[in-house]
Amino acid sequence: MQFMLLFSRQGKLRLQKWYVPLSDKERKKISRDLVQTILARKPKMCSFLEWRDLKIVYKRYASLYFCCAVEDQDNELITLEIIHRYVELLDKYFGSVCELDIIFNFEKAYFILDEFLLGGEAQETSKKNVLKAIEQADLLQEVRIFLYHQIHLL
């Protein structure tokens, strides 16, 4: 995987994770263009598209779009389920996750992602094991997350 972006229906980036070295300027340009391309697509359309030299896999959950750019030989469907598993992890951790959870606890969203994917590859696909790693870390310190009432992603 080359990168993962989370953005809102209004096109605001909520999370960005880059697994290939790119300059800040390139990153901004890619995210701006790609977000526009995806927001312009209609609901029932295919989740995959060829965009420049990249293979894009995306899916919308409530108000949030999850979008991954993968290599040519990568499997589209399994990438779609990578996205879903990540949403499940967020959902389980925050308890019915919504966009605001991710905005206010962005650092947690990054930590969970790091336990799940590392260097763009799946590190641990078991939901239990990922959450165990995160919760263990939380146990080492005071648990501090805020919970929000909003439309849930799942």
Taking a C-beta distance cutoff of 8 angstroms, is the pair 35, 56 a contact? Answer: no
From residue 105, how far is each of 73, 98, 116, 124 by CA, in Å?
34, 11, 17, 22
Contact residues toward another protein (CB under 8 A) are 13, 16, 19, 21, 28, 42, 44-50, 52-53, 72-73, 75-78, 80-82, 84-85, 100, 103-104, 106-107, 110-111, 114, 118-129, 133, 136-137, 140-149
Residues written for the chain: 154
Among 78, 56, 77, residue whose Cα is nearest residue 67:
56
- Rounded to the nearest whole angstrom, what is the least distance from the CB of residue 21 to another protein in the complex? 7
Of the pair 77, 151, the CB lying nearest another protein is at 77
Neighbouring CB atoms inside 10 A of 58's CB total 24
Amino acid identity at 75: N
- Rounded to the nearest whole angstrom, what is the least distance from the CB of residue 22 to another protein in the complex? 11
Of the pair 118, 151, the CB lying nearest another protein is at 118
For helices 106-116 and 127-140, angle between their N-to-C axes, nearest 10 degrees: 130
Any bridge partners for residue 65, and if so which? 7, 60
- Rounded to the nearest whole angstrom, what is the least distance from the CB of residue 91 to another protein in the complex? 13
Of the pair 36, 75, the CB lying nearest another protein is at 75
- Rounded to the nearest whole angstrom, what is the least distance from the CB of residue 66 to another protein in the complex? 14
